[in-house]
Chain A
Amino acid sequence: MFLSQLMRQSGASASAARNLWRKSENPFISTPQAWLTDLEQVEEKKRGIIDLHPDVFRVAPRLDILHRNLTWQKVYRNVQMTKMLTKAEMPGGGRKPWPQKKTGRAHVGSIRQPEFIHGGFANGVRGPRTWFYMLPDAIRLQGLCVALTLKHAQDDLHIVENMQDLQNGDPKFWQDLCESRNWGYSVLMIDDSDVISGGLAEAQEQLAWLNCMPVYGLNCYSIIKYDTVVLSKNALEKIEQRLLQHLHRAKPLNLKYRYQDYKEKILNESRAEENPNMPPIV
Chain B
Amino acid sequence: MSQALRSAKERALQIVEQASKIRIQDARDNLGARTSGRQVRKANNQMGHTQGALERAAKPPLGWIWGDFFRPWQRMFPGEKHFNADINVRREYIPLSLIELTRLIDLGWIDPSKPIDISTLCRTQKFQINPNIRQYGFDLTEEGADSFPYAIDIEVQYATQSAIAAVEKAGGRIRTSYYDVNALEAAIDPKKWFEKGNVVPQRKAPPKTLIGYYMDAKNRGYLADESDIENNRINLANIRGYKLPDHEMVTEPLKTVDQVFHGIPAGSVISLADKKLYSPTNEIHREYYSKQVADKQYS
Contacts and interface: CB of A to CB of B under 8 A. Distances in A.
Interface of A: 28, 30, 58-64, 66-68, 70, 149-150, 153-156, 184, 221, 224-225, 227, 250-252
Interface in B23-51: 23-24, 26-30, 33-34
Nearest to B15: A61
A187 to B, nearest CB: 14
B17 interface: yes
Nearest to B5: A28
B30 A149 contact: no
Interface in B90-108: none
B24 A225 contact: yes
Contacts of B21: 154, 156, 184, 227
Q: Indicate the size class of the contact surface on chain B.
A: 20 to 34
Contact of A60 (B12, B17, B125): B12
A227 B17 CA distance: 15
A252 B127 CA distance: 11
Contacts of A64: 27-30, 33-34
Given A150-B22, A153-B13, A224 B125 contact: no
A224 B23 CA distance: 6
Given A28-B7, A154-B21, A67 B27 contact: yes
Nearest to A154: B21
Q: Is the interface of B mostly helix, strand, loop or mixed?
A: loop
A62 B30 CA distance: 8
A67 B26 CA distance: 8
Nearest to A63: B27
Given A153-B17, A250-B125, A60 B9 contact: yes
A103 to B, nearest CB: 43
13 contacts: A30-B1, A60-B8, A60-B12, A63-B22, A63-B30, A67-B27, A67-B28, A70-B27, A149-B13, A154-B22, A155-B17, A156-B21, A250-B125
A35 B124 CA distance: 39
A223 to B, nearest CB: 10
A157 to B, nearest CB: 12
B264 interface: no
Nearest to B126: A250
B19 interface: yes
Given A70-B24, A154-B17, A224-B23, 11 more contacts: A58-B13, A60-B13, A149-B13, A150-B16, A154-B16, A155-B17, A221-B24, A224-B27, A225-B24, A250-B109, A252-B125
A2 B242 CA distance: 63
A61 B124 CA distance: 31
Contacts of A58: 9, 13
B12 A61 contact: yes
A225 B1 CA distance: 33
A63 B26 contact: yes
Nearest to B26: A63
B8 A250 contact: no
Nearest to A150: B22
A179 B184 CA distance: 62
